[in-house]
């Protein structure tokens, strides 16, 4: 894919702690080379910025940090050509919600998590490419109706939850290489397929532009 093809486009990437540095760099430089702006965003809890820590599960691994100063609750969703949910356990953290004071927690309250609502709104807009990678599909499980009937691939850890949402699981094979495209929804098996994942999202952005 030629450099500059996404000139003027904006890509939103939802992140939190336990992100994978290599994935973040792939977005920064992969989309950047195509001319797009990449905005890393999260829930900032009323603060001007938050500093997130990378995954720390490997023995002897030195954690990295990522400073984020964009709160997804303060952006205009329609300004973005694509919305990506980062891999690993970032989506688990972003599904956090606060039950109303004095009320018992109910299953319906899971839909009140701001990040889940943000991604759900993106799912309802066919003009925006959605890219939940690996464990990222967890961000949508509070809204199973948005996954029902959609073709996806994901990490095995997430598979039972996705099937319970009614999604159509596509196993990894030599043909798809771990990336599955279902119109405006692009999913990837794990962060190791982030390069073709970026290319697939870019191709779908261009395809949607061609339809306008």
Fold of 10-211: Rossmann fold (3.40.50)
- pLDDT (average), residues 25-35: 97
Convert the pLDDT of each residue in 58-93 to its tens digit: 667 788 999 999 999 999 999 999 999 999 999 999
Per-residue pLDDT band for 56 (boundaries 50, 70, 90) equals confident
Convert the pLDDT of each residue in 137-162 to its tens digit: 999 999 999 999 999 999 999 999 99
In the chain, the percentage of residues whose pLDDT exceeds 90 is 89
Per-residue model confidence (pLDDT) at position 100: 87
Mean pLDDT of the chain: 95
Convert the pLDDT of each residue in 171-193 to its tens digit: 999 999 999 999 999 999 999 99
Convert the pLDDT of each residue in 84-124 to its tens digit: 999 999 999 999 998 888 889 999 999 999 999 999 999 99
Question: pLDDT at residue 1 above 80?
Answer: no
Per-residue model confidence (pLDDT) at position 61: 77
- pLDDT (average), residues 17-40: 97
Domain residue spans of the chain: 10-211
The 3 state secondary structure assigned to the chain is CCCCCCCCCEEEEECCCCECHHHHHHHHHHHHHCCCEEEEEECCCCCCCEEEEECCCCCCCCCCEEEECCEHHHCCHHHCCEEEECCCCHHHHHCCCCCCCCCCCCHHHHHHCHHHHHHHHHHCCCCCEEEEEHHHHHHHCCCHHHCCCCEECCCHHHHHHHHHCCCEECCCCCCCCCEEEECCEEEECCHHHHHHHHHHHHHHHHHHHHHC
């Amino acid at each position: 894919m030629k450099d500059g093809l996404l000139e003027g486009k904006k890509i939103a990437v939802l992140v939190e702690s336990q992100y994978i540095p290599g994935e973040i760099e792939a977005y920064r430089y992969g989309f950047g080379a195509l001319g797009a702006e990449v905005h890393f965003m999260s829930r900032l809890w009323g603060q001007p910025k938050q500093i997130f820590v990378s995954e720390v599960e490997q023995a002897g691994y030195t954690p990295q940090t990522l400073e984020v100063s964009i709160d997804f609750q303060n952006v205009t969703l329609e300004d973005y050509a694509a919305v990506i949910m980062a891999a690993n356990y970032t989506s688990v953290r972003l599904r956090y919600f606060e039950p109303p004071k004095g009320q018992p927690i109910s299953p319906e309250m899971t839909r009140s998590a701001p990040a889940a609502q943000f991604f759900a709104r993106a799912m309802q807009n066919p003009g925006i490419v959605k890219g939940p990678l690996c464990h990222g599909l967890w961000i949508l499980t509070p809204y199973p109706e948005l996954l029902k009937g959609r073709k996806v691939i994901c990490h095995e850890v997430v598979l039972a939850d996705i099937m319970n949402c009614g999604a159509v699981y596509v196993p990894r094979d030599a043909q798809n290489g771990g990336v599955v495209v279902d119109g405006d929804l692009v999913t990837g098996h794990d962060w190791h397929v982030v390069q073709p994942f970026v290319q697939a999202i870019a191709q779908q952005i261009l395809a949607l532009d061609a339809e306008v």
